């Protein structure tokens, strides 16, 4: 039976879709059977980030409205054709085409065949957000270390509580170690202190993400990407492994990171 | 006549006693059902406050007045008008009844203990509104974007960054205190203050009224 994990944030542009694509791919790399659902109907992106844009025939709304079987709408990922699938959003409809009950029914159908169902939520707190969290067993809240994003994340935590979903986990994305070191950016503890929820991952700001996103490749497949490494760590934590958090300092690059990890352990 | 009772539904909810009107039933039948229901349990409802939930139905001034009149006969006060239709907001305002969207009820989790004081042991987050007729005590932070209003005083055992209104209704004795007092907006009775931009609280502080001014002093109880 699959776990349904919804990735949400409140604010737009903080990296929900990138996070969804990377976690889905990382879990698939470890042999998990994964389906990623794009719940951002009308503004779909997940297909682009995963590089599957040109394979869409049917979408989420087609499934919900019964124009095709669920199986027909699932797109095989080119790199993991056996165990990574995407259910894309419709581009020509809007959020009202789907209800929270539709999402619950859809996920219940998919649960039997998969280990993980990741749902990429739209920004905002309206209908699309409600659709995305309705079937969730677990919720990951993505924020960047900026006051406006943290404020929105706080609102989301409140709503998640109101919908009686327990223990949302926090991902802090796009941390710039240099700026934190200079005191120009909020640090991880500052964000955690405000939101008062458990942290499941910190992802450094990484220019390679922009490149990989544009190419429809994902960072977790790039051995040199720090962000990719961070996402792999989060995927491992989702699988129940106890992985230490990355130590981010101003010396970017894997070698410096590894060295400093050894230093802090001693 | 059997379905008469379904024209209205009265039920207890987290937010209080809720009167739900059937969305499409004829208005006269709704009123009739309400009259009957209240007549049956007259003493039970006496002095109660009711949330009037009209759902998607849009109601006129006259219709709202009719409901309020029936409620008044039994000494029942309206707590709020719960409605989705924006036109009802104007109607409610004109009748002096607060209007709320149904979602606002869900976004406020239930209080732990309710009595003269309201005790909350959690983080009050952006978008959450706590309203209480007594004192409010929060063990936890009140984040920016949260709102607390109380007829009495407001005590925050944590960081206060949201907006607070103590002494709602004109209680000049009400105070606000917090371990870190930096609210976006602070009101006591009818007076209002904003945290200065350069304010960095170094310890617990207490705000109270001195005439028409809100004064904030460090909390150093032993020296009092």
Contact with chain A for residue B173, Cβ under 8 A: no
Whether residue B139 has pLDDT greater than 90:
yes
Q: Do A162 and B106 touch (CB under 8 A)?
A: yes
B177 with B83, same domain: the answer is no
Q: Do B107 and A196 touch (CB under 8 A)?
A: no
Q: Do B128 and A157 touch (CB under 8 A)?
A: no
CA distance B121 to B219: 22
Q: Do B107 and A158 touch (CB under 8 A)?
A: yes
Select from A125, A158, A163 the Cβ nearest to the Cβ of B125: A158
Structural domain boundaries in chain A: 3-265
Q: Report the 10 Å Cβ neighbour count for A64.
A: 22
B126 with B213, same domain: the answer is yes
Whether residue B107 has pLDDT greater than 70:
no
Give residue A249's pLDDT.
65
Report the interhelical angle of B87-94 vs B61-73 (nearest 10°).
50
B85 with B174, same domain: the answer is no
Give residue A240's pLDDT.
94
Is residue A15 part of an annotated ligand binding site?
A: yes
Report chain A residues whose CB lies below 8 A from the CB of B123: 157, 196
Q: Do A159 and B127 touch (CB under 8 A)?
A: yes
Contact with chain B for residue A161, Cβ under 8 A: yes
B86 with B16, same domain: the answer is yes
B217 with B130, same domain: the answer is yes
In A, minimum Cα distance to B141 occurs at: A194
B113 with B215, same domain: the answer is yes
How many structural domains comprise chain B? 2
CA distance B60 to A76: 55
Whether residue B114 has pLDDT greater than 50:
no
ipTM of the complex: 0.73
Q: Do B109 and A162 touch (CB under 8 A)?
A: yes
Give residue B154's pLDDT.
96
Q: For residue A149, what is the enclosing H or E element? A: helix A147-162
Encoded tokens for A229: 């490494």
Select from B107, B140, B145 the Cβ nearest to the Cβ of A154: B145
Are β-strands B8-13 and B16-21 bridged in parallel, bridged antiparallel, or unpaired?
antiparallel
User: Whole domain around residue B166: which residue ranges?
Assistant: 109-223
Give residue B109's pLDDT.
41
Is residue A253 part of an annotated ligand binding site?
A: no
Instruction: Tell me which of B59, B80, B105 is where a domain ends.
Output: B105
Select from A151, A162, A196 the Cβ nearest to the Cβ of B126: A151
Q: What's the CATH code of the domain at B207?
A: 2.160.20.70
Single out the residue of A19, A26, A27 nearest to residue A3, CA to CA. Answer: A27
Encoded tokens for A160: 């998640």
Q: Do B126 and A155 touch (CB under 8 A)?
A: yes
* Helices (H) then strands (E): counts for chain B: 5, 17
B117 with B69, same domain: the answer is no
Contacts of A87 (CB under 8 A, 6+ apart): A35, A36, A37, A38, A59, A60, A63, A70, A73, A74, A75
- Those of residues 126-155 in B touching chain A at CB distance below 8 A are 126-128, 140-141, 143-145
C-alpha neighbours within 13 Å on the C-beta side of residue B33: 20
B126 with B172, same domain: the answer is yes
Q: Do A158 and B140 touch (CB under 8 A)?
A: no
Q: What is the pLDDT of residues A121-155, one digit of tens each?
A: 999 999 999 999 999 999 999 999 999 999 999 99
B114 with B219, same domain: the answer is yes
Give residue A62's pLDDT.
95
For chain A, residues with pLDDT lower than 70 are 249-266
B21 with B64, same domain: the answer is yes
Q: What is the pLDDT of residues B15-37, one digit of tens each?
A: 778 888 887 888 888 888 888 88
Report chain B residues whose CB lies below 8 A from the CB of A157: 123, 125
Instruction: Tell me which of B105, B123, B143 is where a domain ends.
Output: B105
CA distance A245 to A240: 14
Contacts of B142 (CB under 8 A, 6+ apart): B123, B124, B148, B156, B158, B159, B160, B161, B162, B164, B178, B183
Encoded tokens for A192: 């955690």
Instruction: Tell me which of B105, B130, B152 is where a domain ends.
Output: B105
More confident residue, B116 or B26: B26
Give residue A186's pLDDT.
93
User: How does residue B41 score in pLDDT terms, banded at 50, 70 and 90?
Assistant: confident
Q: What's the CATH code of the domain at B8?
A: 3.30.70.260
B99 with B174, same domain: the answer is no
> What distances in angstroms separate CA B25 from CA B28, B54, B80, B120, one per listed residue?
9, 11, 21, 40
Average pLDDT of the segment spanning B201-206: 90
CA distance A128 to A99: 9
Give residue A253's pLDDT.
53
Identify the residue among A162, A170, A186 best suited for mutation to test binding to B, counting B beta carbons within 10 A and taking the highest: A162
Identify the residue among A154, A155, A168, A198 best suited for mutation to test binding to B, counting B beta carbons within 10 A and taking the highest: A154
Q: Which CATH superfamily is domain A3-265 in?
A: P-loop containing nucleotide triphosphate hydrolases (3.40.50.300)
Contact with chain A for residue B123, Cβ under 8 A: yes
Whether residue B113 has pLDDT greater than 50:
no
B92 with B187, same domain: the answer is no
């Amino acid at each position: 039976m699959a776990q349904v994990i919804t990735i949400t944030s409140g604010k737009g542009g903080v990296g929900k879709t990138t996070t969804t694509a990377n976690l889905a791919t990382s879990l698939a790399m470890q042999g998990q059977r994964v389906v990623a659902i794009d719940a951002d109907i009308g503004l779909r992106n997940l297909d682009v980030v995963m590089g599957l844009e040109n394979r869409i025939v049917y979408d989420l709304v087609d499934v919900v409205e019964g124009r095709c079987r669920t199986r027909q709408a699932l797109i095989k990922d080119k790199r993991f054709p056996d165990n990574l699938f995407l259910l894309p959003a419709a581009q020509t409809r809007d959020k009202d085409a789907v209800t929270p009950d539709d999402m619950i029914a859809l996920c219940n159908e998919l649960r039997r065949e998969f280990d993980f169902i990741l749902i990429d939520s739209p920004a905002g707190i309206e209908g699309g957000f409600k659709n995305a969290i309705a079937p969730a067993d677990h919720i990951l809240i993505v924020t960047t270390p900026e006051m406006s994003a943290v404020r929105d994340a706080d609102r989301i935590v409140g709503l998640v509580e109101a919908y009686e979903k327990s223990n949302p986990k926090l991902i802090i994305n796009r941390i710039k170690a240099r700026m934190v070191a200079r005191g120009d950016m909020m640090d991880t503890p500052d964000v955690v202190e405000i939101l008062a929820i458990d942290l499941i991952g910190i992802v450094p700001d990484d220019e390679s993400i922009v490149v990989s996103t544009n190419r429809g490749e994902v960072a977790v497949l790039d051995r040199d990407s720090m962000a990719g490494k961070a996402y792999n760590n989060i995927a491992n934590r989702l699988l129940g492994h106890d992985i230490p958090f990355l130590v981010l300092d101003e010396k970017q690059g894997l070698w410096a990171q590894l060295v400093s990890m050894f230093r802090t352990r001693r | 006549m059997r379905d008469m009772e379904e024209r209205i539904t009265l039920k207890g909810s987290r937010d209080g006693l809720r009167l739900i009107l059937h969305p499409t039933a004829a208005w006269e039948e709704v009123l009739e059902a309400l009259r009957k229901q209240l007549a049956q349990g007259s003493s039970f409802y006496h002095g109660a406050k009711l949330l009037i939930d009209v759902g998607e139905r849009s109601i006129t001034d006259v219709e709202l007045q009719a409901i309020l009149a029936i409620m008044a006969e039994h000494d029942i006060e309206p707590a709020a008008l719960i409605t989705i239709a924006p036109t009802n907001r104007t109607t409610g305002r004109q009748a002096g009844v607060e209007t709320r969207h149904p979602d606002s009820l869900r976004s406020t989790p239930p209080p732990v203990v309710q009595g003269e004081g309201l005790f909350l042991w959690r983080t009050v987050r952006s978008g959450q509104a706590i309203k209480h007729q007594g004192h409010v005590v929060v063990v936890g932070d009140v984040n920016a974007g949260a709102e607390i209003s109380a007829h009495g005083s407001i005590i925050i055992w944590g960081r206060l960054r949201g907006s607070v209104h103590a002494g709602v209704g004109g209680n000049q004795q009400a105070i606000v205190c917090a371990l870190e007092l930096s609210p976006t907006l602070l009101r006591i009775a009818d007076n209002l203050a904003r945290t200065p931009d350069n304010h960095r609280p170094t310890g617990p502080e207490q705000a109270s009224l001195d005439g028409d001014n809100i004064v904030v002093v460090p909390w150093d109880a032993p020296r009092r």
